[in-house]
């Protein structure tokens, strides 16, 4: 059985919206598109490249798929080569004929969960809405947060209203990068346990 890994670039206050560019996602009047590059560095970039190199299949939500499908088919670097080569899956109720070669449409999070029967490592990038759906369906195995040392005070947050209670365990040692970013890899660890602290 394989695993589904969600990679998410996120700020200290939990914002994942539009890390890559000013026009990536302006929903809600978001004014900070492109926030990732100024707080990234070569070491962090290399680590992200290593993560992409592990992909056996790519899973995306519809909005992130549209962004990727408009850019990556025209790239021939190592990352582009990987993303264009691997099977791609997009969860959507409206997409009928995906243009990016090698893409299949899935109807829901449960269907995405069955990809673990076919692939060792199914990776996601972005796709915050889909991440929440996978968590609710209990089919997300690993959460890889790339945490960046900024706060934005606005934008889409991964753990917002409606977040499903869940516990996680650290799957790898935390990794830090020169400009302050931190890689945090967590595996799903079941439901939330509660216990009184001494003296509480």
Percent of the chain with pLDDT over 70: 100
Query: Tokens at residue 125, please?
Result: 């990038």
Residue 171 pLDDT greater than 90, yes or no? yes
What's the CA gap between 123 and 115, in Å, rounded? Answer: 11
Bridge partner list, 88 = 58, 103
What's the CA gap between 135 and 109, in Å, rounded? Answer: 9
Residue 156 pLDDT greater than 80, yes or no? yes
Q: 182 with 41: CB under 8 angstroms? A: no
Q: 188 with 143: CB under 8 angstroms? A: yes
Q: How far is CA 140 from CA 5, 21, 51, 116, 189, in A?
A: 7, 27, 17, 10, 11
Instruction: Give pLDDT, residue 12.
Output: 97
Alpha helices in 72-172 (DSSP H): 78-85, 109-113, 128-136
Q: How far is CA 180 from CA 36, 93, 175, 184, in A?
A: 12, 39, 10, 13
Bridge partner list, 91 = 61, 106
CA dihedral 145, 16, 90, 133 (to 10 degrees): 80
- The stretch 60-77 carries a mean pLDDT of 93
Query: Tokens at residue 168, please?
Result: 């996680």
pLDDT tens track for 21-50: 999 999 999 999 999 999 999 999 999 999
DSSP 170: E
Mean pLDDT over the full length of the chain: 94
pLDDT tens track for 119-137: 999 999 988 889 999 999 9
Instruction: Give pLDDT, residue 163.
Output: 87
Instruction: Give pLDDT, residue 162.
Output: 82
């Amino acid at each position: 059985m394989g695993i589904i890994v969600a990679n998410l670039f996120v700020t200290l206050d939990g914002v994942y919206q539009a890390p890559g560019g000013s026009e990536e996602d302006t929903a809600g009047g978001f004014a900070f598109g492109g926030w990732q590059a100024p707080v990234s560095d070569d070491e962090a970039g290399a680590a992200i490249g290593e993560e992409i190199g592990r992909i056996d299949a790519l899973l995306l939500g519809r909005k992130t798929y549209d962004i990727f499908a408009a850019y990556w088919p025209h790239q021939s670097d190592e990352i582009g080569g990987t993303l264009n080569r691997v099977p791609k899956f997009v969860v959507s109720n409206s997409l009928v004929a995906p243009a990016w070669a090698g893409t299949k449409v899935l109807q829901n999070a449960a269907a995405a969960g069955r990809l673990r029967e076919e692939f060792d490592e199914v990776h996601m990038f972005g796709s915050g809405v889909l991440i929440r759906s996978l968590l609710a369906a209990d089919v997300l195995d690993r959460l890889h947060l790339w945490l960046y040392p900024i706060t934005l005070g606005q934008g889409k947050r991964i753990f917002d209203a409606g977040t499903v209670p869940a516990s996680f365990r650290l799957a790898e040692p935390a990794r830090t990068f020169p400009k302050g970013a931190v890689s945090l890899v967590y595996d799903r660890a079941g439901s939330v346990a509660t216990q009184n602290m001494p003296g509480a």
